[in-house]
Structure formats: structure tokens, C-alpha cells
Amino acid sequence: MGCSNCGTADGKPGGCQSHGSCGTGSCNRMNVFDWLSNLPIHDPASECRVMEISFNQGSRKDFYRNTTTQIFEKGDMVSVEGVSGFDVGSVSLTGELVRIQMKKKSVEEFHPDMKKVLRRASDRDLDLLKQNKAREQEAVIRSRAISRQLRLDMKVSQVEIQADGRKATFYYIADDRVDFRELIKIFASEFRVKVEMRQIGARQEAGKVGGVGSCGRELCCSTWLTDFKSVNTTAARYQNLSINQSKLSGQCGRLKCCLNYELDTYLDALQQFPDNADTLQVAKGTALLIKKDIFKNLMWYVLPDSNKQYPLLIERVKQIKKLNQQNIIPDDLGAIEVNTGKPKEELVNVDLTGQFSLKTLDKADRKKREMRKGSPLNRRENRQQPPPQSRDNRPPSQSRDNKPPSQPRDNRPPSQPRNNRPPQGKK
């Protein structure tokens, strides 16, 4: 997401020079649209003097009281009170809408401990902010190495340094309680700042890192979602979703927050379905309920003797349930036929030279595989073919090389050779 001021020129991003907080509001994280800004205020004395200020590219917001006579608008960089110094942030919301946001977060408008807006940020303040923000990435790497040396079961996710460089907030993730007494001393001497450790969860870390979800849009936790509600697998079961941990989990490793978005709609639609209708008694056996379709108002059952699913209307289920209470068992479920839609069309590829089906490619590929040497199908065909005949149409058993022995010319048996003829007398 980016505005027209953040375009790319000569291969380099120009940027709108708002120091991490876009002046138009389109690049600002957790941006709030002030739909009351155009309404006229008749009584200036009753105008809300509290402003919402965002820090670190909108990942953190807080309320500050404007005690100055200046009028600030959305996107202005201001200097506010910090811990033993000042901090620099961007004005994200002003006017009457701030009171609504304060009511949501249970913040009193006239609380005496609310911090104040000091002035409009000067060039010196912005330079200090830029210098200290450049130290944050190095501080993350160094703090992770120190925690690893101390063998602490924790992970430093992000480090936020105050604009004047006097305080640093270390955001970490840990499953159990961590002893920070030695760690804070090392951090204070290493970075020369006042250290504040703040534990966050996996969802908050994903919101700070950012990313793109499976829907193709930016993560909700990094754009507009501020309150994280608990999500369990019951929400997936109500919506007939398969309990697949890899598909139901987000980038934080927890169940996706969007599972709760449509849960109320499903719960309202399920109220018209009958209760205690998990089983139905029919002549073929006990039918078990497997799912409910709120869009078609159908309840799907399966019988024990088959894997076929039978869709039933809600009225039919109520009727069978009433008969079962009267100890009457109907003959069948009375399932209806569900139109699945249009028949599946054959995938066709259109080319400039014509039109052909992709099945022809499968047939050609199969034919090539069958013609390969040593394929089982080719061997089977070779067994079924008749044996080849020789050139003189004789079987292979009577070929020239294997011809039977010829009889002697004088028709003598083979046991009497020619050399053993009886001697003949002289004439």
C-alpha cells in the first residue's frame, strides 16, 4: 500500500518524507478515518482537546492533551512528553472521534496524569528521531545475543528507542516467567538508556512484523485490528470447516482471527435448526448427523451400512424426530436430490492454430510410455503375439541348423558304417 507521493523515480523510492507516517494516511498502520472532520463545531469551548498520536509507523498509539494554542491536523509531526525527555509522533486522529476511541479503551478525557503535547516537531527533533531509529535494528541483534548468553528462555522481538534516546522499550516473547534482574543491568550499561521490558504475545509480534495473509491482503493485526479476542476450534466446527491446523493457523502460529468474523452469522442461522437431532431412527438403522448447511437449510445424515450421505430438509428432520418420540420408526429418511450445479466441462485449450482437448496429450503420453522398452504392458503384448515364422515357413524347431539327420544313401541302418563293409572276392 502506498500513496502517490511514495512513487518510485529512477529506480529509487522517493518517499513522502513523513518519517514513517504517511501524510495522506494510506501508508499509516492502523489508520482511522475521521468521518466527523467535516462537521461544523458551534461551540469551540466544548471541542475535544485530546489527540491520538501514533509512534513507530503506527504500531503503538496513545492519547495526549493539546495544551498549546496551535491547531494540529492529521499527519503532523509533534513532540510530546516522554520518560525523562520528549518523544516524536504523528497525529493520527483529532476532533470528536477521539472521544469515541477513548470510550472504547476506557480512558478518561480529563485524567490528570495524561501526558501533553509540547510543540510541533522541529528539524532538530526529526534528526534525533532518525538517528535513534537507526540504532533499533542493531539493538535487537545485540539484545538477542545477550539473552542467549544468559540462557534465558525468551525472544526479543522489537526494540523501540525514544526520540531523544533516553529510553528503550524491549518487546519480548516468553512462555514462562523470566528473571530480568541481571538482564536489565546489562542492557542499561550496554545501550546507555533507561530500559523497559514489555511482554507481548505471538499475535502482537505478527502485527509488528507485518505480512500478507492467505486471503491475499495485509494482515488484520498489522492494519486495523487492535483488540485480540480468543479463537478456538469451536468456531471452525460451527462453520463446517475441516480441523486442519496448517490451514486454520495464521503467521503467528495461532488460530486465525478471521474465524470469529462470520461466527455470529452462523450462530444466528443455526437457531432455526432443530436441537437434539444428532441421530434419527429409521428402518435401516440409526442415521448420524455429519454436517449442517445453513445456505440451503439442509442436514446431512449417513447410515451405518453405507458411506452415502443423505440430505434432509429441516421439516423432514423435525417430522422424523417427532415420530421417534412416539416410538414410530419410518421406513426411510426421505432424502432429497441436491443440484450440484452445472456439469463439469472439459478443459479446452484455445490456440491460434485451432482448438484441441488436453485429453489428446494424455493419450499421446500414455502411448509413448507403453511403447517404451521393458514396460509391463509391452511385455504382456509380446506374450500374446504368435511366434515368428522363418523364411522357409518352417517352425523354429525345424530350422536349417536343427534339421534332422539324413538317412544313408545305401539305406543301411546307422549302426553299420560304410567302412565296415564285408570284403568282396576278386574276379
Read off φ and ψ for residue 121, nearest 5 degrees.
-65, 130
- Measure Cα distances from 219 to 49, 210, 216, 233, 258 in Å: 32, 6, 9, 20, 10
In contact, 321 and 280? CB cutoff 8 Å: yes
Q: What is the pLDDT confidence band of residue 397, given thresholds at 50, 70 and 90?
A: very low
Percent of the chain with pLDDT over 70: 70
Q: Residue 115: its pLDDT value, please?
A: 92
Q: CA 62 to CA 53: how far, in whole Å?
A: 6
Instruction: Report the amino acid identity of residue 350.
Output: V
For 51-60, 168-177, 196-205, 379-388, which range has the lowest pLDDT when averaged over its residues?
379-388
Q: What per-residue confidence (pLDDT) applies to 37?
A: 65
Work out the mean pLDDT of the chain and round it to a whole number: 78
Q: What is the pLDDT of residue 106?
A: 87
Model confidence pTM above 0.85: no
Task: Look at domain 135-200 and name its CATH class.
Answer: alpha beta
The mean pLDDT value for 156-166 works out to 90
Weakest-pLDDT range from 90-104, 114-128, 368-382: 368-382
What's the mean pLDDT in 69-86? Answer: 88
Give the model's pLDDT for residue 112: 87
Give per-residue pLDDT as tens, 297-324: 899 999 988 888 889 999 999 999 999 9
**For the residues 220-227, what does the mean pLDDT come to?**
81
Query: Quick check: 273 pLDDT over 70?
Result: yes
